[in-house]
Amino acid sequence: MINKKNIDFIYKQNLEESIIEYLSREKNLELRQAMDIYYHSRLAKQIEQGTYGIENMDYKYLAEDLMENEPELFQKKRTERKLH
């Protein structure tokens, strides 16, 4: 039988996957780049910790919030792409 912890874990995994895919599409990034940006963000930490119930929000809203409030993560990736 699946318990609440397992359901929450699966839900968070699906949420993270949706956020990463959305970032990749919207910012024209490879999935690996979008994943790197996401996992270095404050948003990822907040979702992992369940801060403020943020994990219950829509993935598009969360991804847009990440792009707006942590633009430095995207600038770093853009610079790295130019160097390669």
Q: What is the pTM of this model?
A: 0.86
Is 2 within a domain? no
Is 12 within a domain? no
Per the CB < 8 A criterion, the answer to whether 34 and 21 are in contact is yes
Is 58 within a domain? yes
Q: Does residue 77 have a pLDDT over 80?
A: no
Q: What are the pLDDT digits (tens) for 47-70?
A: 999 888 898 999 999 999 999 999
Is 10 within a domain? no
Q: Confidence band (pLDDT; 50, 70, 90) for 79?
A: low
Is 68 within a domain? yes
Q: Does residue 78 have a pLDDT over 70?
A: no
Is 43 within a domain? yes
Q: Structural domain of residue 34, as residue ranges?
A: 19-83
Ramachandran quadrant class, 79 (left: phi over 0; alpha: psi -120 to 50; beta: rest): alpha
Average pLDDT over residues 27-33: 96
Is 54 within a domain? yes
Average pLDDT over residues 26-44: 97
Work out how many domains the chain is built from and give that number: 1
Q: Give residue 22's pLDDT.
A: 99
